[in-house]
Structure 1
Amino acid sequence: MRISGIQLGYDDDETLEDRVARVTDLVRTQHHADLIVLPELWPSTGFGYRRWGAAAQTLDGPVVTAMREAARTVGAYLHMGSFIEATPEALERLAGVDHDVKALPELADGDRGLWNTSVLLDPSGEIVAIYRKIHRFGFGNGEPKLLEAGEDIVTADIEVAGRTVTLGLATCYDLRFPELFRALLDRGAEVFVVPAAWPAPRVDHWSLLSRARAAEDFCAVVAVNTAGFHSKT
């Protein structure tokens, strides 16, 4: 299986529209790949909370729509990293927010309508799997304050060269929880796909944990981080 990991670099000044167009072009050039993987939260500039309000969207919003078309064009499976998924009600609440979303009133779990969501697309652009990040990063702030926790452990089968390969889906901070990966293994996962927006000060942990999950479960790990400097990291 040939895999392209696009470790996308970006800065805080690039607009969402320009970034989606650039990523679409990058995906379309990966003609040799069976599976293409993007990093975590690339539409919203990683953990640049000031951008989350404007970048949040539904599963049929412009980011997923553009990536579905890109997958069709290149004819490959596309794990589109992750984005801030929002219910229509959450989008209405976020309308016009042009400041740090961490300053918004905190809502209880179940009332936020926002997730850190990964989507896997097949070569025809159809949605194969949706994974909402289970382990939210932050200690009483950040993701735990703003987002719902995902509840489902997700695997997905893809067909490559006449063989079925089972992927296990996880995101970034999930790497610190080996029990999730053992549960994915128990569900038949052969390859763990882990997009991330892991900051440079702890990048040694990123490498170590990716290797540990591979070694302890005898699985391949496709770990795709962001690049560059953004959101002060």
Structure 2
Amino acid sequence: MRASLIQIAVNPDEPVNYRRARVASLVAGEVSGPNPADLVVLPELWPVGAFAFTRFAEEAEPLEGPTHEVMSRAAAEAGVWLHAGSFVERAEDGTLYNTSLVFDPRGERVAAYRKIHRFGFDQGEAVLMGAGEELVTVTLPGTTLGLATCYDLRFPELFRGLVDAGAQTFVVPAGWPERRRAHWTLLARARAVENQAYVLAVGTAGTHADVPQAGHTLVVDPWGEILGEAGAEEEILRVEFDPAEVEKTRERFPVLKGRRLGVERPGTLG
């Protein structure tokens, strides 16, 4: 399977409509060469910037708003599976969500995932957005994707739940800050190793609301080896990987079979 991870630079001076059109052209470019992508992945909140909290309400869209429309058309025209990253969704009741979209090669939306773990503690996304409540997987030819977004990467129980739902490849769009880049790489590799799955983690470049972004999009195999990694600027990381390696790894080293569920917590000593 050939995957193209597009590490977009979010420039606050670039009009959002222009960025949508530019990103759609980047998607098209990933199927025009001799080795067209099977799957294209975009980062978190690329229409607005992951740390541009003050613009979330202004830039919020309905589920089938402008970003949905442009990305659906981009997937259909390219004939490619497209994880369109995430955008600020305004639900019918007015609640904002950090929502990811996945389209099939016909441009049909096959999944929408609302980010479960919101970053910010008592500010930013954590107070401005609602929390998603559903794990989401998507079946592609050859592999099943498990969807997560940025801060979700810090919560291993989410990924174990996705494995139980059949996930073999985790897709993690993010707007990860440069000051915690070491965690980005460490956690992506950890989620791959402990679940014996591929991790496709795509970040953003540039600066969002004075927060420099980490970039360094990467693909990790089920043994925790990095198959490819981008730099800090806008870049497209292209990686070819074999989805069959997931089941081969789980058969050769069946660590997941050793799980013990429902073990009671130890009582108080003394």
The answer, yes or no, to whether TM exceeds 0.5 is yes
In the other structure, the counterpart of 1:12 is 12
In the other structure, the counterpart of 2:182 is 204
Aligned-partner Cα distance in 2 for 1:89–1:180: 26
Aligned-partner Cα distance in 1 for 2:89–2:21: 19
In the other structure, the counterpart of 1:66 is 70
Aligned-partner Cα distance in 1 for 2:126–2:21: 30
Larger radius of gyration: 2
Whichever residue aligns with residue 153 of structure 1, its letter is: L
Kept after mapping to 1: 8 A contact 2:10/2:47: no
Aligned-partner Cα distance in 2 for 1:218–1:203: 22
Aligned-partner Cα distance in 2 for 1:201–1:50: 21
The normalised TM-score by structure 2 is 0.75
In the other structure, the counterpart of 2:146 is 168
RMSD over aligned CA atoms reads 1.0
1:24-61 C-alpha deviation (Å, 9 max, x unpaired):
11111110110000000001122212321232101111
1:104-152 C-alpha deviation (Å, 9 max, x unpaired):
xxxxxxxxx1100001100000011111000000111111211110000
1:173-199 C-alpha deviation (Å, 9 max, x unpaired):
000000000010111100000000000
In structure 1, the gaps of 5 or more residues are 91-112
In the other structure, the counterpart of 1:53 is 57
In the other structure, the counterpart of 1:34 is 38
Specify which structure has the bigger relative contact order, considering alpha-carbon pairs within 8 angstroms and separated by 6 or more residues: 1
1:189-220 C-alpha deviation (Å, 9 max, x unpaired):
00000000000000110111000000111000
Whichever residue aligns with residue 168 of structure 2, its letter is: E
1:223 aligns with 2:205: no
Aligned-partner Cα distance in 1 for 2:167–2:129: 27
1:154 aligns with 2:136: yes
Aligned-partner Cα distance in 1 for 2:196–2:180: 24
Kept after mapping to 1: 8 A contact 2:60/2:89: yes
Whichever residue aligns with residue 212 of structure 1, its letter is: A
Task: Count matched residues.
Answer: 207
Offset at residue 230 of structure 1 (A): 2.6
Aligned-partner Cα distance in 2 for 1:10–1:58: 21
Q: Which runs of 4+ in 1 moved over 6 A?
A: none
Offset at residue 89 of structure 1 (A): 4.9
In the other structure, the counterpart of 2:80 is 76
Tell me the SS of whatever aligns to 1:84: strand
